[in-house]
Amino acid sequence: MNVLGEIPGRDKKLSSERIIIGAHLDSWHAGTGAADNAVNCVVMMEVMRLLQTLQLPLRRTVEIGLWTGEEVRYLGSWDYVEKKVGHIRSGKLHRSSQKISVYLNLDNGAGKIRGLFLQGNEAARPLLSQLLQPFADWEATTLTIQSTTYTDHEVFDMWNIPAFQFIQDPLNYMTMIHHSNMDVYDYLLEDDVKQNVAIITSLVYHLANIDQMVPRKAVKSDER
Ligand SMILES: [Zn+2]
């Protein structure tokens, strides 16, 4: 079951537009799934808690999705996207999907954020570059045009919703931790995780308040 939550936007015009952040709740069976992906569910929940506790004014609605079944072909995010973005079999795009500005996904372990995979969306680079600038000292401003796969942002990207996965320090995630019996709490670095919360909170705050939505990839309609 997906866990969804939202903080409604306060701007009459923009509150129907949405910024969505997400991570996945399910995990592999060998360890406890601390790095893949409980820690990043905690990060995203903490982002929402900060926005709410600080009563930061938000023009757009901010939504969190903690997805089920990511490890079994994105079952949770797929279901959400079918209902809210577009119906895969019929190819029909839901009208409300045009109100989704961006989906941000965190699922590369517990290492520090270093930037974003642009997923082929060059049009989003100037805006995201500007929003990441405050974190230049933390070396978190890399924007690669490359796409990355094997996590939930792909399902949004299929419909050309601007959908980005964060670049993170690899640590020993893919070599040791991922889907192994070492995916446990002991391998999480608390300071890195707190830093990740700060970066995403700032990004979400600005994305919810700037005048524009995140630009979509330029595609001809017959290419969909
Ligand atoms: Zn994962």
Q: How far is the CA of 211 from the centre of ligand 1 (A)?
A: 33
**Residues 6 or more apart from 181 whose CB is under 8 A from it?**
30, 31
CA of 144 to the centre of ligand 1 (A): 20
CA–centroid distance, residue 197 to ligand 1 (Å): 18
The pLDDT of residue 222 is above 70: no
Structure confidence by residue, pLDDT tens digits, 13-38? 999 999 999 999 999 989 999 999 99
Contacts with 212 (C-beta within 8 Å, 6 or more apart), sequence order: 127
**pLDDT surpasses 60 at 223:** no
Q: Is residue 85 scored above 90 in pLDDT?
A: yes
For 58-84, the pLDDT digits (tens) are 999 999 999 999 999 999 999 999 999
Distance of CA 74 from the midpoint of ligand 1 (Å): 10
CA nearest neighbour of 164 among 2, 22, 35: 22
Residue 169 has pLDDT above 80, yes or no: yes
What's the CA-to-centroid distance between 71 and ligand 1, angstroms?
7
- Which chain residues have CB less than 5 Å from ligand 1, an ion? 36-37, 107
